[in-house]
Amino acid sequence: MTVERATRARAAAIIVSVAAVMGSCNILQPAAYLAIGQAKAPARYVLEDTPTVVFVDDRNNAIPINSSRVRRAVADNVTNQLMSRDLVTITISPRDAMALSRNQDRQGKLMSMGALGEAVGAEQLIYIEMLSYRGSPDNVTPRPSAACRLKVIDVVNKTRMFPGPDAEKDWQEIIVQSPPVSPELYRSNAGRREIEKMLAATIADKVTKLFYKHIPDELGSRLTPQ
């Protein structure tokens, strides 16, 4: 048993003993939470530690304004989190993949994701397709939301690694909704840019959590503009 587990076990035993004395006192539940901590959700998939590129696609124009900038922000955020959490040790600039894809699209040549990853020197590609990107879920409430779907591709062997071959769906769907934001932010270019950055960071946060053990619904306060 590790030191951490032993400590948690002792804390749990103390709480049980206190419970016997205090009965149903409502102080027990928060005390237990503080001592043991919230259970962490497991990673949905563990990435291979190989050269990795993140590519965000918006060929259906789900992002109404500044699509290229938003796509780059999401991809850069995911890439930075992968590196900072040591989920992979080598990443390739998303800008390289975007530039190559844009050039091929202009020539009327639609590249496969495997070919795109290979062309930029990646062995693993995280492909994110945007499905929606809105400043308000009902065009009234100032609460940005977005949806996308994701898969992880083994570029070398040209296979989909996540979701696995036995999964019900070929994609992992992701839906995010930010905390409510001040309506004042919608009234200036600078404010709308803040909302754009915050939503891109929120998407990246949820995407990256697929790949490591984490506390569910935990989101840094830095993602919430006031």
Contact 57, 129 (CB under 8 A): yes
Whether residue 116 has pLDDT greater than 80: yes
Residue closest to 53 by CA, chosen among 127, 105, 148, 161: 127
Whether residue 70 has pLDDT greater than 90: yes
Q: Which residue has the higher pLDDT, 12 or 206?
A: 206
What's at 60, amino acid-wise? N
Instruction: Please provide the DSSP assignment of 99-146 as one string.
Output: HHHHHHHHTT----HHHHHHHTT-SEEEEEEEEEEES-SSSSS---EE
Predicted confidence at residue 208, as pLDDT, reads 97
Residue closest to 146 by CA, chosen among 46, 58, 27: 58
Predicted confidence at residue 94, as pLDDT, reads 97
DSSP state of 60: T
Whether residue 14 has pLDDT greater than 60: no
Q: What is the CATH number of domain 52-223?
A: 3.40.50
Look up the pTM and report it.
Answer: 0.79
